[in-house]
Amino acid sequence: MKFLLSILLAVAAVPVDEPPVVDVVEITDGKPIKGRVVFEGRDVLRVRTGRGEVEVDRARISQIHSQERNLKEFVRLFDAMPRKDAAASHLLAGWCKDHDLGHEATLLSYRGLLLDPEHEPEAKFAIVETRRVANKGLQLKVDGRWTGFDEFCGPKPTWKERLKLRTAHFEIESDLPLEPLLDAAVAVERHYQRFYDTLGPDIGLWVFDEVPSIRLYANAKDFPQSWTGSDQAWFAPVENVMHFLNGPSYDMQGIVRAVTDMLLFNACRRSSGKTGQIPGWMAAGISEGFAATAPAAPFEPWGELGTPNLAWFKIQAQAVEPLPLNKLLVSSLGEIRRGPDWERRMAAAYTLLDFIARGEDRALREKGFAYLRGAWQGKIDAKGFLKAMGMDEKELQRRWNEHVKQIAG
């Protein structure tokens, strides 16, 4: 079964004992700080150590060695790697193993074995334990048990027999075949990086501790009904699970939207040292902003962030009765995604966020992010939003409408 998906999976088998990630922050006037870099702001970093969390001024930092930086370098090296070269895959797997990316190392080992099952990598690059058995062929050890390689890589007969896999940030469960997921494994980490690079410093996002699950289904009978109305990809926050149904075609915007929902939920669980909250209209607008940049087909180039989705602007501009601002500000994400007037709410949410982020030469951008950062302290309310923007409802509505008309044309 051919399965292409540009932003979803990773394929490293879940280890029995997973060692903790150890980042190192080297500073100019003292000993290195070892732990987990949980937040990178423009001026400070926060490092979780065995003795608590430490805040470090960037001016004191000479170098940072972290999983997030290793992942970024891994993606760069992967993009430069010959795709059909088994030895190159095993070589990069060794690099990942040496840089706290054990799941990606396993992923690349699978890639190398699929490309050339007869290739025997040097011992130092052998990440996956294999053996060859007469009349059974290549086998690999997964969770302490020997499994036939063809059986492991092939589609599973039932959802109950699904594989449980891992990447650096996500757990993967799937009854789909393994091979087509390898490029997608890198793509989901690429989206993770894009998400944090774009929003992390402005919103004050910490890396998340939980491991959300991505469940990919070969059969519609196993796919749970979506609360958002999506028939291919949706995120369930109560379970912290993203569901994806494989099909002959792909709603790339819907897929990116669902992945962003998952990232938002987990990144906002604990930000600025608090449990994050995010207004429904902002969450919808952010996910739609990333969805607007989705490629037309899997693995094609993405659009630039900030590229407007003109369809929502036209809906907002042409609405006989646009959604009132006060109603939008108290809308839940469920109402925006699937309420009786969801289309008006979605157009309003997307265009208002775009106005704050890009309108009037970004004059309101910092005010908007400051309001959102205040949400970590439980300060979300409509009056607080208007106060943060420095204008009353009538003035904001007027300037927002002008932005919409300008973009809609």
Q: Which of 64-68, 96-100, 213-217, 251-255 has the lowest mean pLDDT?
A: 251-255
pLDDT of residue 180: 76
Q: What's phi and psi for 52, nearest 5 deg?
A: 120, -170
Choose among 295, 212, 299: nearest CA to 252: 295
pLDDT of residue 68: 92
User: What is the secondary structure of 354-408 as a DSSP string?
Assistant: HHHHHHHHHTTHHHHHHHHHHGGGT---HHHHHHHHTS-HHHHHHHHHHHHHHHH
The mean per-residue pLDDT over the stretch 62-78 comes to 94
How many CA within 13 A on the CB side of residue 135?
0
pLDDT of residue 19: 64
pLDDT of residue 22: 87
The mean per-residue pLDDT over the stretch 279-300 comes to 88
Largest CA distance in the chain: 78
Residue 244's beta-bridge partner residues?
A: 216, 233
Q: Which of 46-55, 116-125, 217-226 has the lowest mean pLDDT?
A: 116-125
Give the H or E element holding residue 395.
Answer: helix 393-408
Percent of the chain with pLDDT over 70: 92
Choose among 114, 132, 133: nearest CA to 183: 114
CA separation, residue 84 to residues 13, 125, 138, 177 (Å): 22, 17, 20, 19
Report which of residues 10 and 305 the model is more confident about.
Answer: 305
pLDDT of residue 3: 28
Helices (H) and strands (E) in the chain, counts: 14, 14
Highest average pLDDT, of 226-235, 348-357, 376-385, comes from 348-357
Residue 382 has pLDDT above 90, yes or no: no
CA separation, residue 200 to residues 42, 197, 206, 268, 271 (Å): 10, 6, 7, 10, 10
Residue 221 has pLDDT above 70, yes or no: yes
With beta carbons less than 8 A apart as the criterion, state whether 321 and 295 touch: no
With beta carbons less than 8 A apart as the criterion, state whether 345 and 315 touch: no
Q: CB neighbours of 79 closer than 8 A, spacing ≥ 6?
A: none
Domains delineated in the chain: 23-66 (2.30.30), 69-266 (no CATH), 280-408 (no CATH)
* 257/291 Cα distance (integer angstroms): 5
Q: Which of 5-9, 102-106, 147-151, 263-267 has the lowest mean pLDDT?
A: 5-9
pLDDT of residue 153: 92
The mean per-residue pLDDT over the stretch 257-276 comes to 82
With beta carbons less than 8 A apart as the criterion, state whether 282 and 372 touch: yes
CA separation, residue 14 to residues 32, 85, 102, 153, 292 (Å): 31, 25, 10, 15, 33
C-alpha R_g of the chain: 23
Residue 253 has pLDDT above 70, yes or no: yes
Residue 376 has pLDDT above 60, yes or no: yes
pLDDT of residue 384: 85
3-class SS of residue 39:
strand
The mean per-residue pLDDT over the stretch 123-129 comes to 82
Residue 116 has pLDDT above 60, yes or no: yes
3-class SS of residue 26:
strand
* 36/291 Cα distance (integer angstroms): 30
172-197: per-residue pLDDT in tens? Answer: 899 999 887 787 788 888 899 999 99
**CB-CB neighbours of 363 under 10 Å:** 10
pLDDT of residue 5: 30
Residue 72 has pLDDT above 90, yes or no: yes
Choose among 123, 165, 160, 173: nearest CA to 143: 165
Residue 150 binned pLDDT confidence (cut-offs 50, 70, 90): very high
With beta carbons less than 8 A apart as the criterion, state whether 184 and 252 touch: no
3-class SS of residue 341:
coil
Sheet with 233-236, side-by-side order of all strands:
12-13, 163-166, 171-174, 213-217, 241-245, 233-236
CA angle, residues 278, 281, 286, in degrees to nearest 5: 75
Choose among 286, 265, 276, 266: nearest CA to 378: 276
* 20/182 Cα distance (integer angstroms): 24
Residue 8 binned pLDDT confidence (cut-offs 50, 70, 90): very low
The mean per-residue pLDDT over the stretch 275-297 comes to 87
pLDDT of residue 16: 36
- Average pLDDT of the chain, as a whole number: 87
The mean per-residue pLDDT over the stretch 290-297 comes to 87
Residue 17 binned pLDDT confidence (cut-offs 50, 70, 90): very low
Report which of residues 249 and 32 the model is more confident about.
Answer: 32
The mean per-residue pLDDT over the stretch 90-110 comes to 93
